Chains A and B, each alone.
Chain A
Amino acid sequence: MAVAFGSKARFDDLRLSARVFLANKSAVAGLVIFLGFLIVGLLVTLTPGLMGIQDPGVFVSNAFINANVANCSGAWPEPPSAAHWFGTTEYQGAGGFGCIDLFNLILKAIPVDLALSFFIVLIGAGIGTVIGILAGYMGRYVDEGLMRLTDIFFGIPFLVLAIAVGFVIGRTLLNMAVALMIVWWPLYARYGRSLTLSTKEMAFVESATAAGSGRWKILFKHILPNVLPPIFIQISLDVGTVVGIFSALAFIGFLPTDANLPELGYITNQGLTLAPLGYWWTVVFPGATITLFALAVNLMGDGFRDVIDPRRRS
């Protein structure tokens, strides 16, 4: 796997990469959907009014509750209709307060989930990759020590570990993110280490060392350009996966019932008690949103893999 030298070669390489990516139609679709999510997220955060959202950042605002106590307190969720595209759902935190438009709610949740997933993955990957590269590059004792450390974390299923950490530090949104960061970094440590090791073994590194390049120079000029691209792909894939995981955490009740947050897993949790009674939309729509996002990200990631893997390029 070579890195292009010279700007013309690099530009041609980029054009070929773009062509390879664009040839994969589902990857392009994935990219489009992903960008769609990003745009929605940005719009909801920056110009909520434009999207018809009165109360961004909360599941249901106090103003809304006060205004609708009469007909909404204790109201059952309504199925999808022209007025409410995804139907309505209830807020359990205020004793089953209904009439909450699900579509709006999901729109509000998108930036929250996006931000959360980027936050978790980038920080977790950042820490993990640094540790992994260090372990792989320094070798011997540093490697052994760091790997024993990561092995310990690998010994516990990540959901359980996240629950345990959450138990200790408290069940808030931020703490959920922290818990998942703790769960996430070992994956990147291991991945980064194996990539570093296999790059280290390659002939061109040996020849660079023989030519007298310093250790840091080798690291930045040779190792990193070959280790970072696959890591980047893994990050892009994980952004989709991690949403599924923290929403699962919220789903089982990591966040307290009265957390009043627009988060997709939490929304499903709010609807769960009602769901077996037939109010399927309260769980299906937020779940489908997560699925769509993960799907888009996975398709995109596939496309990136096509670009990076030299064999798939031809």
Chain B
Amino acid sequence: MAAALQVRDLQVHFHTRRGVFRALNGVNLVLREGEVLGIAGESGCGKSTLGLTVMSLLPRNAAVPGGQVIYDERNLVNLQVDYAKSAGDRFLPKRNEHVLKRVNKAMASIRGVGLSMVFQEPMTSLNPVLTIGFQIAEAVYLHNPALLAKRRLAREAATPQDLREILRLLEENEGDEAPIRAYVAAKSLEGLEEQALFVWRRPDIHRARKEKAILTLGEVEPRRFERSILGVVARAGSIPPQFRWIPIFRKVVRHALFREGYRKAEELLTSLGVPNADRVVRMYPHELSGGMRQRVVIAIALANNPSVVIMDEPTSAVDVTVQAQILELIRQIRNTIHASFIVISHDLSVLAEVCDRIAIMYAGRIVEIAPVGDTLTHPLHPYTQLLVSAIPTLDRKEIVGIRGEIPDMRDPPSGCAFHPRCPFAFGKCATHVPIDIPQGKEQLVACWLYEAK
């Protein structure tokens, strides 16, 4: 099966005034296309760092001394590894900042389009001085302005019979995409299909209203100047330079594209279950609740149909009812969008709800990775076993914890990082780092207990 993302032997060190923290110590991971992979572990095990490293969003004091992150046949961290290797002990955040500038430049075309991320804290993830609609629309504007232009132009160009035909195709084929796309392509009305499909798939309105909405898609106020400019953008595929530098054009283009962007933002929010999306897009983040903000952040992440979506603790900062909604949302998204997901959480029960496979992390390494059912019913690694048994259930009388603490990552234990806390540790554990040992068809565990004799 194809791999959407691959991580090989990734190491990340944080250089702080209090010492060098070895956050990741050789992480190996393969994200399969279309799957939902969970990454579980306690605070400080490095799971968030892993997500950030994949996106190359590490702070300037983070060194990547080794490893690869392979996406779309490219190694995303090679610049950072090169610098960290050449600097060795004399790693300087100041110097690293220069490297990061080049990294950001290179990543700008990947982030938000191929790879996207949903962060942990919805309360602080949104820019407080920009409207919701702007922040979502911007995601599309930055990467695919032509789409926005085409949408608008298509609406203007569509004749009432085009719309009736589309409606008929939708009803006949029960919302199947292919015939709509074919029709739209034939009539050069690209951009219309996603708008029609969105209306069709809305769970919150009647059939009759959907019909009406589709048939009235073509009602656009004609603005000739805008139309001709948008036409140029649509044909060019991106905003041509003359529109970017000349103030008048720039303003008109931005204005028109963002207006369409707000419409798309409404569509995204509605499909994520946000009521009154048309009002929400004009609001500011501080006017929304945590659950709403989380949906906005998810909308931003999904706006350009990325291939990989990383969700860092999507449920940790919200209360339980909202947690349930978000998990439901994730389940719904994965069914409609062809993307691969990485869900990071310290809560195994959350991961159990949505993931296909779960990887357990400890002290900067992945210690076990298996399909979700196997992980929970037959955990192999001692750490996983303790984690699973620590989940409070209704029939347990005593809360079982794991003795000891996570190690100080400035000076991690030798050999297997878990050996000081492991009830089954033996000689080899203290001296040799466990390798990944396959168990059965789908499971991998990094523990000497499973070494083939």
Binary interface encoding of chain A residues 3-33 relative to chain B, with 1 for a CB under 8 A from any of its CBs, else 0: 0000000000000000010010000000000
Q: Map CB proximity to A onto B5-30 as digits: 1 under 8 Å, 0 otherwise.
A: 00000000000111000000000000
| Closest chain A CB from B350 CB (angstroms) | 26
Secondary structure call for the B interface: loop
Q: Which residue of B lies closest to A20 (CB)?
A: B17
Q: Is A217 an interface residue (CB 8 A)?
A: no
Chain A neighbourhood of B17, CB < 8 A? 20, 23, 313-314
* Least distance between B250 CB and chain A CB atoms (Å): 38
Chain A contacts for B18, CB-based, 8 A: 314
Q: Which residue of A lies closest to B18 (CB)?
A: A314
Query: Chain A nearest CB: distance from B17 CB in Å?
Result: 5
Distance of A23 Cα from B16 Cα, bound (Å): 13
Give A20 to B16 CA distance when docked, in angstroms. Answer: 12
Bound CA–CA A314/B18 (angstroms): 7
A313 / chain B contacts, CB cutoff of 8 Å: 17
A293-314 interface (Cβ within 8 A of B): 313-314
Interface set, chain B 154-207, CB cutoff 8 A to A: none
How large, as a class, is the contact surface on chain B?
under 10
Q: How far is the CB of A4 from chain B (nearest CB, A)?
A: 16
Residues of B within 8 A of A314 (CB): 16-18
Complex alpha-carbon distance, A94 and B16, angstroms: 63
User: Residues of A contacting B16 with CB < 8 Å?
Assistant: 314
Residue of B nearest to A19 (CB): B17
List the B residue with the shortest CB-CB distance to A313.
B17
Return chain B residues, CB-CB under 8 Å to A20: 17
Instruction: Output the least CB separation between A15 and chain B (Å).
Output: 12
For residue A186, give the distance in angstroms from its CB to the closest CB of chain B: 30
Cα separation A190 to B50 with both chains bound (whole Å) = 45
> Bound complex: CA of A23 vs CA of B17, how far in Å?
10
Output the least CB separation between B194 and chain A (Å): 44
Complex: A314 Cα to B16 Cα, angstroms: 6
Bound together, the chains give a CA A313 to CA B17 distance in angstroms of: 8
In Å, the complex CA distance between A313 and B18 comes to 9
| Most B Cβ at <10 Å: residue of A20, A23, A314 | A314
Per-residue CB contact flags for chain A residues 23-63 toward chain B (1 = under 8 Å, else 0) read: 10000000000000000000000000000000000000000
Instruction: Tell me the nearest residue of chain B to A23, going by C-beta.
Output: B17
A17 CB, nearest partner CB in chain B, Å: 12
Q: How far is the CB of A21 from chain B (nearest CB, A)?
A: 12
A23: chain B residues within 8 A (beta carbon): 17
Bound Cα distance from A177 to B392, whole angstroms: 68
Closest residue of A by beta carbon distance from B61: A314
Task: Say how far A12's CB is from chain B's closest CB, in angstroms.
Answer: 11
Q: How far is the CB of B25 from chain A (nearest CB, A)?
A: 21
Q: What is the distance, in angstroms, from A149's C-beta to the closest C-beta of chain B?
A: 32
Tell me, in angstroms, the Cα distance from A59 to B17 when the chains sit together: 50
CB A85 to nearest CB in B, in angstroms, measures: 40
How near does chain A come to B153, taking the closest CB pair, in angstroms? Answer: 49
Within 8 A of A (CB), among B121-138: none
In the bound complex, what is the Cα–Cα distance between A258 and B384 (angstroms)? 86
Which of chain B's residues has its CB closest to A312's CB? Answer: B17
Give A313 Cβ to nearest chain B Cβ, in Å.
7
Name the residue of chain A whose CB is nearest to the CB of B16: A314
Q: Complex formed: what's the CA distance from A20 to B18 in Å?
A: 11
Please give the distance in Å from B55's CB to the nearest CB on chain A.
23
Min CB–CB distance A308 → chain B (angstroms): 15
Q: Quote the shortest CB–CB distance from B23 to chain A (angstroms).
A: 14
The residues in B between 47 and 77 inclusive whose CB is less than 8 angstroms from any CB of A are: none
Cα–Cα distance between A23 and B18 once the two chains are bound (Å): 13
Shortest beta-carbon distance from B21 to chain A in Å: 11
Q: Closest A-chain residue to B14, C-beta based?
A: A314
Least CB separation from B17: chain A residue:
A314
Within 8 A of A (CB), among B22-40: none
Shortest beta-carbon distance from A193 to chain B in Å: 25
Expressed in whole angstroms, the minimum distance between the Cβ of A307 and any Cβ of chain B is 12
Q: B234-273, CB under 8 A of A: which get 1 and which 0?
A: 0000000000000000000000000000000000000000
Q: Please provide the 6 A-B residue pairs with the shortest distance between their CB atoms, ordered closest to farther.
A: A314-B16, A314-B17, A314-B18, A313-B17, A20-B17, A23-B17
Could you list which residues of chain B lie within 8 angstroms of chain A, going by C-beta atoms? 16-18
Q: List 6 A-B contacts (CB under 8 A).
A: A20-B17, A23-B17, A313-B17, A314-B16, A314-B17, A314-B18
